[in-house]
Amino acid sequence: MELQEFIISVSKELEDPSINKQRKRYLESYISDLLEYQKKNPTTKETPTQFQLFCFLNPDSLECRIYDD
C-alpha cells in the first residue's frame, strides 16, 4: 500500500467512535509520525515499516546504528 493511501486508512480508523482510548492514542501518535516522515521524504511512495519509522525519528538509537565492516 502506498504511503498516502495508508495515511488515509489510518485517519479513517481514527474517526471511528467505537475504538478504545489506547488505540486512539496509538493511532494519533502513529499518524503524526507518518506525516512527519512524509513531509521529510516527499518523493517516497512506499509505506515505511515500524522499524524504519522508528529509525527515521530516532537515528541515534542503538538499534538504528549501521556499522561498516
Residue 9: predicted pLDDT: 95
pLDDT digits (tens, 9 = 90+) for 44-57: 999 999 999 999 99
Q: Say if 33 falls within a structural domain.
A: yes
Residue range(s) defining the domain that contains residue 41: 3-64
Tell me whether residue 24 is in a domain. yes
Interatomic CA distance for residues 51 and 64, integer angstroms: 9
Q: How confident is residue 61, by pLDDT bands cut at 50, 70 and 90?
A: very high
Residue 9 covered by a domain:
yes
Residue 31 in contact with residue 7, Cβ under 8 Å? yes
The CA-CA-CA angle for residues 32, 38, 44, to 5°, reads 150
Asked whether residue 56 is assigned to any structural domain, the reply reads: yes
C-alpha distances out from residue 42 to 11, 16, 29, 59, 67, Å: 19, 28, 20, 19, 27
pLDDT bracket for residue 69 (50, 70, 90): low
Question: At 2, phi and psi to the nearest 5?
Answer: -70, 155
69 in a structural domain: no
